[in-house]
Chains A and B, each alone.
Chain A
Amino acid sequence: MNRRPKILIVDDRPENLVALETVLRDLDVELVKAYSGNEALRATLHHDFALALLDIQMPEMDGYELAGILREEEKTAKLPFIFISAVYTDNLNIFKGYERGAFSFITKPFQPEILINKVKFFINIHKQEAALSDLNEELKQKNEDLEQSNNDLEAFTYSVSHDLRAPLRAVHSYAMIMREDHEKELNAECLRLLGNITRNAERMARLIESLLEFSRLGKLGITAGIVDVNILIQEALEDINATVQKVPEFRIQKDMPRAVGDRDLLKQVFVNLLSNAVKYSGKKEAPVVEVGARLDGSEVIYHVRDNGSGFDMQYMNKLFGVFSRLHRDTEYEGIGIGLAIVQRIVTRSGGRVWAEGALDQGATFYIALPAAGV
């Protein structure tokens, strides 16, 4: 925004005001003149000033008194002053409220360059402050826009997920009815095709379910507390062991540092990371899944490592995308939502996630969370 900064100049003697105008005429500023303290106060009602030049010796209200009143007013409380005085004074706390804003002195007769420099100094500060406040305003607006579009997206995902179910139910159900009512009339190829329809409908149902779950995550509030990850991992392992056929060797570090976060959501994080590790190491002869942690400043960095199929580091950024996968469905079953959920939860908890790996050399997933009691 291009605004010429306004300077208030106050002096009871017209010739002094003319002199100030002359000195400051080359600056890109707008000068507003006042012949008395009262006039100056009125001017502050109509203008936003970047700086005020105040003569000290004025009848009725002197420069210090005027400055004191201006400091009391909210609008001008931080307005910087340059006092123009016939006598030099080093008594800086001479006016009321002096500590609330910047000010300077210049003694008469003054050298034009010195006054110009002082004025320029304050104007520059003012411009920087104005630019900063514009940027802040812009940032605030962008934040609001972002929040709005986030909300729109959540609502969209939710309704899409709901509305997608009805036609899918029809596809799935009619395929099943066809098999149920007409199985004897259908040849093997027809039955195979029907099976494909059903399986794909079921897969899409899972995709929709995950999308819903992911969108619900965005609405959940985070209840942050101190979380004992050692216990979370034990619980997560119980969940996982109950569902997989081939249980790997687990090497879990003892007494890992605690983190700050939402217990239920962080459990979801570890369940997802551990099930991934189990899944992608499942084809090894001796699968090993290792969990550890270390403190790093105010963060605790947990890792989940497996000796499974790993990944090519060039695809690292695809790991955490929604429905983004590095393996075909026939290699490893899945729909590509687990790590997206991990990233979303960890980011919302004020943490970071990343991964290291190499093809066939296993993978390590790291999550950094705020450490408890640091």
Chain B
Amino acid sequence: MQRVEVLLVEDNEHDAELTIRALKKNNLANGLMHLKDGGEALDFIFGQGMFEGRSVESKPRVIVLDINMPRVSGLEVLQRLKADERTCNIPVVVLTSTKDDPIMKHCYELGVNSYVVKPVAFDAFFKEISALGFFWMIVNQVE
């Protein structure tokens, strides 16, 4: 199995499709894995449940995380990642509807690395995702 470079955690199938399209257009979709909720994401990252046996050492380069998801929210995923020394260094980019969402404050407190606003307008959304490309470049330089 190819190494997962980008882990996208997004419950809304349309938002996921659009995000993937935007990532592809920006050449950011190599080794992309899409998971549909926070629970799956934790299973994947920590090699448990449906991903039993997967090594926690095989980290994605970046996690693109939707905040508002049923059951295990993005905020909880972020909390677990940042609290565990094995995973606290994985860069996390959260997807949010508005940057003045009160939840964003928690995200910063938890140590989120970046955020992408999901605007209504398609072209603006693509611009937001392409801004990720810049972030991606920096992440790669650090490694």
Q: Contacts A176-B122, A201-B120, A205-B120 known; A169 to B98 CB distance under 8 Å?
A: no
Residues of chain B within 8 A (CB-CB) of A212 are 98
CA distance A201 to B119 in the complex (A): 12
Q: Contacts A177-B21, A212-B98 known; A166 to B121 CB distance under 8 Å?
A: no
B97 and A172 contact, CB distance less than 8 A: no
CA distance A169 to B22 in the complex (A): 14
CA distance A175 to B123 in the complex (A): 11
Residues of chain A within 8 A (CB-CB) of B68 are 162
Q: Contacts A173-B122, A173-B125 known; A162 to B18 CB distance under 8 Å?
A: no
Residues of chain A within 8 A (CB-CB) of B97 are 162, 165-166
A256 contacts B by Cβ under 8 Å = no
A170 contacts B by Cβ under 8 Å = yes
B71 contacts A by Cβ under 8 Å = no
B59 contacts A by Cβ under 8 Å = no
Q: Contacts A162-B97, A162-B98, A177-B21 known; A169 to B119 CB distance under 8 Å?
A: yes
Q: Contacts A173-B125, A176-B122, A205-B120 known; A166 to B15 CB distance under 8 Å?
A: yes
CA distance A50 to B120 in the complex (A): 66
CA distance A177 to B101 in the complex (A): 28
A205 and B14 contact, CB distance less than 8 A: no
Q: Contacts A162-B97, A165-B97, A177-B21 known; A172 to B122 CB distance under 8 Å?
A: yes
Nearest chain A CB to B66 CB, angstrom units: 10
A177 and B122 contact, CB distance less than 8 A: yes
Considering only CB atoms, which chain B residue lies closest to A173 in the complex?
Answer: B122
Q: Contacts A162-B97, A162-B98, A212-B98 known; A169 to B21 CB distance under 8 Å?
A: no
Q: Contacts A173-B18, A201-B120, A212-B98 known; A166 to B12 CB distance under 8 Å?
A: yes
Q: Contacts A162-B97, A162-B98, A176-B123 known; A170 to B118 CB distance under 8 Å?
A: no
Considering only CB atoms, which chain B residue lies closest to A170 in the complex?
Answer: B14
C-beta contact mask, B55-91 vs A, less than 8 Å → 1, else 0? 0000000000000100000000000000000000000
B123 and A169 contact, CB distance less than 8 A: no
CA distance A174 to B98 in the complex (A): 21
Partner of A165 from the list B18, B21, B118, B123 (CB cut-off 8 Å) is: B118
C-beta contact mask, A159-194 vs B, less than 8 Å → 1, else 0? 000100111111011111100000000000000000
C-beta contact mask, A192-221 vs B, less than 8 Å → 1, else 0? 000000000110110010001000000000
Nearest chain B CB to A264 CB, angstrom units: 15
Considering only CB atoms, which chain A residue lies closest to B118 in the complex?
Answer: A169
- Interface residue count on the A side (C-beta < 8 Å): 19
Residues of chain B within 8 A (CB-CB) of A165 are 97, 118, 120
CA distance A36 to B14 in the complex (A): 85
CA distance A201 to B123 in the complex (A): 13
Considering only CB atoms, which chain B residue lies closest to A201 in the complex?
Answer: B120
Residues of chain B within 8 A (CB-CB) of A177 are 21, 122
Considering only CB atoms, which chain A residue lies closest to B15 in the complex?
Answer: A166
Nearest chain B CB to A252 CB, angstrom units: 33
CA distance A123 to B21 in the complex (A): 81
CA distance A49 to B101 in the complex (A): 56
CA distance A351 to B7 in the complex (A): 53
Residues of chain A within 8 A (CB-CB) of B125 are 169, 173
Nearest chain B CB to A214 CB, angstrom units: 14
Nearest chain B CB to A179 CB, angstrom units: 10
CA distance A202 to B98 in the complex (A): 16
CA distance A168 to B122 in the complex (A): 10
Residues of chain B within 8 A (CB-CB) of A172 are 120-122
Residues of chain A within 8 A (CB-CB) of B118 are 165-166, 169
CA distance A16 to B18 in the complex (A): 94
Residues of chain B within 8 A (CB-CB) of A205 are 119-121
Considering only CB atoms, which chain A residue lies closest to B101 in the complex?
Answer: A162
Residues of chain A within 8 A (CB-CB) of B123 are 176
Nearest chain B CB to A348 CB, angstrom units: 20
CA distance A96 to B80 in the complex (A): 70
CB within 8 Å of A: which B27-51 residues? none
B121 and A202 contact, CB distance less than 8 A: yes
CA distance A172 to B14 in the complex (A): 11
CA distance A162 to B96 in the complex (A): 10
What 6 new A-B contacts, CB under 8 Å, besides A165-B120, A169-B15, A169-B120? A162-B98, A169-B18, A169-B122, A173-B18, A173-B122, A174-B14
Chain B positions within 8 Å of A, measured between CB atoms, are 12, 14-15, 18, 21, 68, 97-98, 101, 118-123, 125
Mind listing 23 A-B residue pairs with CB under 8 Å? A162-B97, A162-B98, A165-B97, A165-B118, A166-B12, A166-B15, A166-B97, A166-B118, A167-B14, A169-B14, A169-B120, A170-B15, A173-B14, A173-B122, A174-B14, A176-B122, A177-B122, A201-B120, A202-B120, A202-B121, A205-B121, A208-B120, A212-B98
